[in-house]
Chains A and B, each alone.
Chain A
Amino acid sequence: MSASILDPTGITAANVAVAPTLPDIMPPVKARKGFFGFMRQNPAIAVGGSLVTLMVLVAIFAPLLFTTDPTALAPALRTREPSAMYWFGSDMLGRDIYSRVLYGARVSLLVGFSVAVFASIIGLTIGMISGFVRWADSIIMRVMDGMMSIPPILLAIALMALTRGSVQNVILAITVAEIPRVSRLVRGVVLSLREQPYVDAAVAAGTRTPVIIWRHILPNTLAPITVQATYICASAMIVESILSFIGAGTPPTIPSWGNIMAEGRALWQVKPYIVFFPAIFLSITVLAVNLLGDGLRDALDPRMAKRI
């Protein structure tokens, strides 16, 4: 630390003998302002964000988008190929797959967003406690280690096997499976933030711990938590579809993408479209959320972007 105030880098002609000019690794960034400027600079956020928004709108306005009752049976019109009447075809009970897929977006998005929010809040709390209360830290982290040694999907399966299938239970099961990872992340961030000079300064100034947490620690955990939350959202949607697909998730009476695929499973060799349409919607939605996460990571936390 020989850097002086006038020359913060400490580089002088004396201590750097030969300094070849290196090409700029980062191209000069043109400052763009406003919402559209931000979007142009972060295409991943723009593309991912608009696809997610579109899917949310589809889910909300599903009744208005030329759908019929997604649970209405029409035994005479079973397994029709996609046509003008059944845009995505009909399933083995004669239900309209287009309507089911659109309504299915509600379940997937609800599960994804709820798990992301709950897992973040609970993980944030546990991580904070772990990072600040020394005696609790070792206990909490051993418990988290133990939970992390159960593969998340199996943990969710075990939880679902013990409860009756409902959307709430699916959300609960996936949240429990995600909590250890968020807690670890927050704890790591808190531990490194505690070493920051501004936190030392706050302590020296006599700031009470709750105020330090609120003012100095919490705001700095929000960026990594937000990024993590988008990834959790994406993985929760996949886990929900997997649970429903194997019959341990959303009850079959509620149309969800996993359920539609589970029902189409028996017929997929002859009627592949039953599986195909929900699969496309699920993949695109998860892809959009992942893109959003990548974009947010690059925009909010350039250091993390370099690592992964």
Chain B
Amino acid sequence: MFAYIVRRVLATIPVMAFVALFVFSLLYVAPGDPAAVIAGDQATPDDVERIRASLGLDRPFLIRFGEWVWRILQGDLGVSIFTNLPVSTMIQQRIEPTMSLMIITLILAVSVAIPMGVVAAWKQGTVIDRTVMGFAVLGFSVPVFVVGYVLAYVFALELDWVPVQGYTPIKQGLWPWFRNLILPSIALGTVYIALIARITRATMLEVLQQDYIRTARAKGAGQRNILFLHALKNAAVPIVTVIGIGIALLIGGAVVTESVFAIPGLGRLTVDAILRRDYPVIQGVVLLFSFVYVLVNLFIDLLYTILDPRIRY
């Protein structure tokens, strides 16, 4: 068991190294002269040269990559072309809103989607099931910013229940902080809820046909016990897997949600960086999000052994 954990943790190192290499080499494989593209259309030749030198595009690839990785390992993600601040500082300033948004969305999505999927499977073929499945298809189809605008229009502009936009740091109180994040997390969570509800339903349908469910029924276990204790426990592995994979949706969606609700987080930072073609910042954010994604999925892999004791490595 311990050996497995060590092996699994070590196995993420080449993946992360590959991600780093990939994000880094994008700068080189991009068509055209990246320094000129980043500098923009109004740049003078001097600007282009300055950017070329600051990105190290004038030196050999492998040397640059080696130096870059070495600096990342020391926590140095480079310096923004636009603000001249270290990228790691910029990320630190922006990380709280994004983390808050993603954690609230995660909690919300899991606590809504799993009961939805379970009930849909239990009431298979009924109106409830069809409603849940219909919602799932809809959730996949309506882009996150559309959900965001509709929610903001109805609940913030028309009904005036919650603030339209903005973010309040958690230091200024739990309720003001949470109030600002209600709509963004619902908007961001919609696709995620659809995804989790769908896989929960599918897995539960399979599990509910197993012999041990019949046995549980035969010994007189209550419906709720059967669904949430016997069945859900056995359906946990695929559901948890999808929750992990779906983090990618949350990360991508956060970029957009933060734009819609004017939340000063990492997503907003990314968007600003794109508009200014501030590649070191984009590189830093993509790298950070990818590492978080890899680590979440590592954690989930390790969780399997707890969820399903039959999985032994």
Question: Which A residues lie at the B interface, using CB under 8 A?
Answer: 142-143, 145-147, 149-155, 157-164, 234, 238, 241-242, 245-248, 261, 265, 268-269, 272, 275-276, 279, 282-283, 286-287, 290-291, 294, 307-308
Contacts and interface: CB of A to CB of B under 8 A. Distances in A.
Contact of B289 (A154, A265, A290): A154
Contacts of B85: none
A269 B164 contact: yes
Contact of B145 (A160, A163, A261, A290): A261
Contact of B141 (A164, A276, A290): A290
A150 B21 CA distance: 12
A242 B22 contact: no
Which of the listed residues A151, A247, A265, A287 has the most CB atoms from chain B within 10 Å of its own CB?
A: A151
A234 B141 contact: yes
Contacts, number: 145
A150 B164 contact: no
19 contacts: A142-B18, A149-B294, A151-B248, A153-B255, A157-B274, A159-B30, A162-B27, A163-B32, A234-B140, A242-B143, A242-B144, A245-B256, A246-B259, A246-B270, A246-B271, A248-B271, A269-B164, A287-B137, A308-B199
Interface stretch (B105-113, B173-181, B222-230, B276-284): B276-284
Nearest to A247: B275
Interface of B: 14-16, 18-19, 21-23, 26-27, 30-32, 34, 37-38, 137-138, 140-146, 149-150, 153, 157, 164, 198-199, 202, 247-249, 251-253, 255-256, 259-260, 270-271, 273-275, 277, 279, 282-283, 285-286, 289-290, 293-294, 297
A158 B19 contact: no
Interface of A is mostly: helix
A283 B146 contact: yes
Chain B at the A interface: SS class? helix
Given A150-B23, A158-B23, A269-B157, A290 B290 contact: no
A154 B19 contact: no
B143 A272 contact: no
Given A151-B251, A245-B259, A246-B274, A275 B149 contact: yes
Nearest to B133: A294
A147 B286 CA distance: 12
B38 to A, nearest CB: 8
Contact of A150 (B22, B137, B146): B22
Kindly name the residue among A147, A154, A163, A294 whose own CB sees the greatest number of chain B CB atoms within 10 A.
Answer: A154
Nearest to A287: B141
B290 A150 contact: yes
Contact of B34 (A154, A157, A162): A162
B146 A154 contact: no
Contacts of A157: 255, 270, 274, 282, 286
> Most B CB atoms within 10 A — which of A150, A275, A276?
A150
A282 B149 contact: no
Nearest to B21: A146
A246 B252 contact: no
Nearest to B23: A158
A22 to B, nearest CB: 12
A160 B289 contact: no
A159 B255 CA distance: 16
B30 A163 contact: yes
Nearest to A25: B209
Q: Which 3 A-B pairs have the closest CB atoms?
A: A153-B252, A146-B18, A162-B30
A238 B145 CA distance: 10
Given A287-B142, A294-B137, 16 more contacts: A142-B15, A147-B22, A150-B19, A151-B248, A153-B253, A154-B289, A155-B286, A157-B255, A162-B30, A241-B143, A248-B274, A269-B157, A276-B149, A282-B146, A307-B202, A308-B198
